[in-house]
Structure 1
Amino acid sequence: MTLEILKTKEDLRNLIDDYAYLGDEKKITEQLDLFTPDVTYKVFMNGALVADVSGRENMESDFNLHSSQVKTYFTLNGQHTTKIDGETATGVSFSQIKMIREADGKDVLTDYSVKYEDQYVFQNGKWRIKERIGYFVIIESRTIS
């Protein structure tokens, strides 16, 4: 493995970690800079397609709407495997995402176990996410005190 490949793998890992950090901090505009302008983003929950968004502007609307309904996000990234081919790459990563929303005056914690399948491109000196598919495999909600 060359130093260039190792550097690219590190850059791609930082990209998915930055996505999580910025999302947890609700820095949507900065988070969207991690995507190509023509990004596609799909979400499957329990096998059903629940979101299919194209383009950064549409994502911004969706992300802002979602963020306005969540009091707190907490993301923990796990494995991240990549295959690099010049200025394009693919990746699979796993995350645990916790979200606290209010329902009927009570805080509800929803715990998500997520597998992401990504396509990346190197543009203007930076790696960006061109396509992201999120598979929300396990979803658990409970009221917390």
Structure 2
Amino acid sequence: MTLEILRTKEELRNLIDAYASLGDEKKISEQMGIFTPDAVYKVYMNNSLVANISGTENLEKEFNGHASLVKTYFTMNGQHTVKIDGDTATGISFSQLKMIRASEGKDIITDYSVKYDDKYVFQNGKWLIKERTGHFLIIEARPLNS
């Protein structure tokens, strides 16, 4: 493995970590900077497509709408594997995502176990997410014990 490939793998890992950190902090406009302007974002729950959004303008509106309903996000990224082919790459990553929302005067925590399938491109000197498909594999919601 060359030093260039190791650097690229680190840059791609930093990209998915930035996606999680910026989302957790609700820095949605900054988060859009890690996507290509024509990015595609899809979400599957129980093997059903529930979101298919194109372009960062639409994605920012969708993410802001969602974030307005969430009190707290917490994401932990796990394994991340990539295949690099010049200025493009594909990746698979796994995340554990927690969201706290208020419902009927109670805080509800939802745990999501997510597998992301990504397509990345190297543009203007940096790696960006071109396509991100989230497969929400396990979803558990319960009242949060304070």
TM-score (norm 2): 0.99
Report the Cα distance in structure 2 between the residues aligned to 1:31 and 1:75, rounded to whole angstroms: 14
Give 2:124's aligned residue.
124
Give 1:109's aligned residue.
109
Report the Cα distance in structure 1 between the residues aligned to 2:105 and 2:125, rounded to whole angstroms: 47
Give 2:137's aligned residue.
137
Q: Is structure 2 residue 90 aligned with structure 1 residue 85?
A: no
Give 1:28's aligned residue.
28
SS of equivalent residue, structure 1 residue 70? coil
Structure 1's unaligned 5+ residue stretches are none
Percent identity reads: 71
Displacement of 1:144 in angstroms is: 1.1
Report the Cα distance in structure 2 between the residues aligned to 1:109 and 1:46, rounded to whole angstroms: 19
The C-alpha deviation readout for 1:69-115, integer Å capped at 9, x for no partner, is 00000000000000000000000000000000000000000000000
TM-score (norm 1): 0.99
Q: Is structure 2 residue 65 aligned with structure 1 residue 65?
A: yes
Report the Cα distance in structure 2 between the residues aligned to 1:25 and 1:15, rounded to whole angstroms: 15
SS of equivalent residue, structure 2 residue 70? coil
Equivalenced residue count is 145
The C-alpha deviation readout for 1:3-37, integer Å capped at 9, x for no partner, is 00000000000000000000000000010100000
Report the Cα distance in structure 2 between the residues aligned to 1:138 and 1:48, rounded to whole angstroms: 13
Structure 2's unaligned 5+ residue stretches are none
Report the Cα distance in structure 2 between the residues aligned to 1:86 and 1:98, rounded to whole angstroms: 35
The C-alpha deviation readout for 1:91-141, integer Å capped at 9, x for no partner, is 000000000000000000000000000000000001000000000000000
Q: Is structure 2 residue 15 aligned with structure 1 residue 15?
A: yes
Report the Cα distance in structure 2 between the residues aligned to 1:17 and 1:124, rounded to whole angstroms: 20
SS of equivalent residue, structure 2 residue 31? helix
Report the Cα distance in structure 2 between the residues aligned to 1:64 and 1:43, rounded to whole angstroms: 16
Q: Quick one: which amino acid aligns to residue 64 of structure 1?
A: N
Report the Cα distance in structure 1 between the residues aligned to 2:128 and 2:18, rounded to whole angstroms: 11
Report the Cα distance in structure 2 between the residues aligned to 1:144 and 1:15, rounded to whole angstroms: 31
